[in-house]
Structure 1
């Protein structure tokens, strides 16, 4: 029995095969770029879409074939052929999404996929409800399997080659590849159909289909086109979302490496390049220099014109620095008005000096910020790498020390790090390393200085002071190691230890009814850089030791408090809301906003020891003391004088209206045990002599 073909449906089956092949190439490209669950989801969904397309081509091709008898197909066999197509498609997508496709993997994949496609075809043929069953010409059938394997090899190879194509004509390439793949699939199908032999007198063993084969084929093809189109639409949306996510991630990565205000490299990126410069020098001896600079008078711009003008000035400075350095030099902003430059491939220190002069001249030119003309200069510290430079942190410290020399020499200049500063450098670096383990070794100690009511000698509080009992260097003052801790990044650990120890000791005194009214704890700028966590950590510490917040007074130097008010106002408010007292240390020696103090008050203003020391011989200092007391009264705050050494000073302070004081005259720094003995008396007997008492202050 001989059958005939509908050429229209044969062409339709080819279009379905080409469309399925094009979608397969697009899916392969997308799956290869995804990872994790997303890749698994797309692999499963892609297998269904691609398998449905291949099976649809096969089914439309079978419907294109007409015998002179009614035709019907077994549902179970047809579904099984569809499932085989889906599994084979999933296998193909898995193969082409791998990182490499060598000849062995290609051969194994092609054979497996080809046999799978042939199985789908002949399973679908077996679903024909006819008797006697169809038979096959063995030679032609084997040829169809060979064609299926060849078509599979072509499909896998093209899909792998086109999956990472980013050229503008990728759509054209995929269309040509899909046409070749579609022709191969159709050739296999119609070769397999040619191998089929139908015996004379063949009959249909099931009721004939009520739907015309032609329109059934059109309906199946139309449904397939819609399904493949929906797949491409979802794929396109997902690809665009993925690109947007990649762009967002790239922007986030850039923000992590760049200063958001200026677009310059940040400290992290600078350190990466500095480490790379050290490695490069080890290989080819290419010398480099590090220049540290900050602006002279930047604070005045902020104070007079506002922070918006200050930011505009920083942006302009960054642009001038970019235009001054060479292309292979790196400019970074460390924060505030601090900049660093990595000058690569220098032949002598004079190269760094020349660059420093150019930078000084460029930044000294007047700026136009809004409607204002602004003039600032810069101080620059220069350090050149040498064979004695141990590591990147060493050269940073050298440049930093050179910057301080430039400031000390009158600013608006540059200074090199000199060999006589090496001892200071090595000491600071070594202390920074040793400080990392000092807490664990129990080398830090908290001392306490009495704060008293001048008229009665009653103890109104204790101020804490941390010192480092170094095993080989002896006692190290906080004025020495706190700046080192801030630069080395260990200040948070030191600050946490101080608060923990202060609360622990306060709890112990409270348990014995010896607790002072207030325990003062100093905070430094390095702690406030982690402002987001500070309030939560302090709250947890209070709860651990069951200490009320109003028994702890947080001391801020004026610049630190103003910086916190500008950049961490929410943290300060959170600390106030928890009940912490606040005070300003050395009030008048820095700068404060009276308006800020009025809206966010503190409980005490501390008169600096420099004013106390000169008040008896300097009318200006005496007036400054009285003015501080008057300001405190207007703000509803107490005043406490620091560094009182003589009875005459105490008498003067009391007459000026300052009722509280601390210093050697009232008692030295005390250990916890000594402070405990003092608290048992609750009152300090003031000496009758006028000379200063000896002090064990660290």
Structure 2
């Protein structure tokens, strides 16, 4: 039995007779055409509560084509849009050959309204594409759920399982990492499988085995070989292959099983190695987490009271740029030794590349503050010798008390990170301070009130955007603007909040993605207006990690790029270096998808990691925006050499560098010589509510 064909058509126009004429023509192709007709914004917002198949836009009382695209994106709808115009307006929406400026599966901009045959064909084709898209999304949902179930099973499996792409590791579960003595998945990503195979014949045999499997030959899926770890030890193993998917992309799954010879000795060695940091000899993250969990249970049971100190090195990026990996390793080792000397009692761990933790019991708030000050002072006074050169470092310390009514360990740890963020704000990213997290300053009522205001700001457009020009040395112009978000409060002091004051609450209440979407849409609306008189204008927009991992971001960005003219490079999205490092594989895939639709990519706060260059090389952004540490005291020789070294290494990867925070003439005079393409700062021009092209 044939399914009844139905089209739900929404027309925004001032001429209802024209809309009814379209319905009459479309009736030849559909059993039923349901028409929605309106001509103003308020009616559109109400109407979008229903499901529509195609939206046709002509003229409206208080809406433009860009407004409609923005509203549809705001509502996160899969709704194809067709823009119409009259003969006299054709030049603004059509190319030199008289064709619409944009034609794809979700948008046509713009058809001539009186060419009814073209309009009807466009509606039918857009509707057919939408049906296919809905079916594809349904299938993707089924595949995603199946993949999620499989990945959960793999992550919890006791078997050593990994995913490879063209012989390169892109994922590994905990048993697999333990088998080869890796601390984290970041250490194994990018390594070829053949690095774990002993013997030329075994390597040759495995390459042929993998080649045959990739060609579709599934008769043989097992391969026996001698395997080796990174420390050179070997063991007999069996490898099995299977077809799988990861993030919707086809990959190859491998399972490695070792023979049981010397299993007790191997288990003992692995148990010791998985809790110790090889560089410092301290406990590593796993050792910390086990001790933290046990201590938390003891405190909750009323057997103790304790505290967590989270210690973050402030300037490791600059040390890496000026002294390289040797300087970083030496600094970390010296700080570890100093912590052991300063903290008489306590559990010290190296939590990550540039962070340490201390778990300590039975200290009052004053004693904790005194301990933190002692640690801060001792480390800031250190002179660290690296190959006949001397460097120094400072630390930021977040302190969290663990009491009988304590929250879960992860919440306590997040509070320690929040304390570090508080220091960053209070010291303008200079650090060299400590902060005791006070729960009374973060009461739920205050957070809830701010969360409600954020929702209202998104709904009623209460945010404000400011734009600061960026000078392009290569092009000798300043029509590139960085976008800043502000939230005015309706209080007596006319307070205006910057994102660092409300994004923690936004994260807790899952609002960051919606705020990011608001920035994108409203910045592109203003860009669209500016590009009418300055067609080369473009914007740089900072987004949060919520958007970095959002699979819909390339689609949203693509729609907005088309709405502002479809020119590659009109929109550049930038993400924090630490967020990129925390989601490295996802970031690489996301950056590639954004690049494919003509969106440029940037990394801000660049240079704060010991692996900044490696991160940039892996994800391949178009530009980087330097961290403030590099610009501060740039006139000092060591600081100048550090920034020059970082920019040279970045430019070697064909990545442009933006040098921000130019706030005085002395900094400006030096900035021309360091090799950066872009310059920005209050000395050049202050941010304003409009994009002022000069």
Does TM, normalized by the shorter one, top 0.5?
Answer: no
Of Structure 1 and Structure 2, which has the larger fraction of its residues in strand? 2
Task: Provide the TM-score with structure 2 as the length reference.
Answer: 0.43
Task: Provide the TM-score with structure 1 as the length reference.
Answer: 0.43
Of Structure 1 and Structure 2, which has the larger fraction of its residues in helix? 1
Structure number with bigger Rg:
1
